[in-house]
Amino acid sequence: MPVTQLHLVFGPQGAGKSTHARKLAEAEQAVHLAIDDWMGQLFGPDLPQPLDFGGVMERVARCERRIWLTALAIVRGGGRVVQDLGFMKAAGRGRFLALADAHGLSAKWH
């Protein structure tokens, strides 16, 4: 059975995704890439008040693109990745699964 290279964690906010993803990354000796970490570090201190939802979602999309490229580099280097991006919408799940397929990666949903 081939080794899963890319683990994709999805579920609603507050469901324990990040806790599960961190434990999974440790068990799989994988790199944990979480949207919350990226958004908080890159944009948290600079978010305007009141929040502009459109602006926030554009930043999320930028982070997701960068996380994908980082995950791809890790996997191409022989590593494994746990992506903790929420994936609440079917379109987002489909997009990341299509990217994995396009690059010949083994992906598993959690």
pLDDT in tens, 56-95: 889 999 999 999 999 999 999 999 999 999 888 888 889 8
Task: Give the residue with greater pLDDT, 4 vs 90.
Answer: 90
Confidence of residue 2 (pLDDT cuts 50, 70, 90): low
Global pTM reads 0.87
The predicted structure's pLDDT at residue 31 = 97
pLDDT in tens, 43-67: 888 877 887 888 888 999 999 999 9
CA 15, CA 84: separation in Å to the nearest integer?
12
* Residue 67 Cα distances to 21, 48, 50, 70, 91, angstroms: 15, 23, 27, 5, 17
Confidence of residue 1 (pLDDT cuts 50, 70, 90): very low
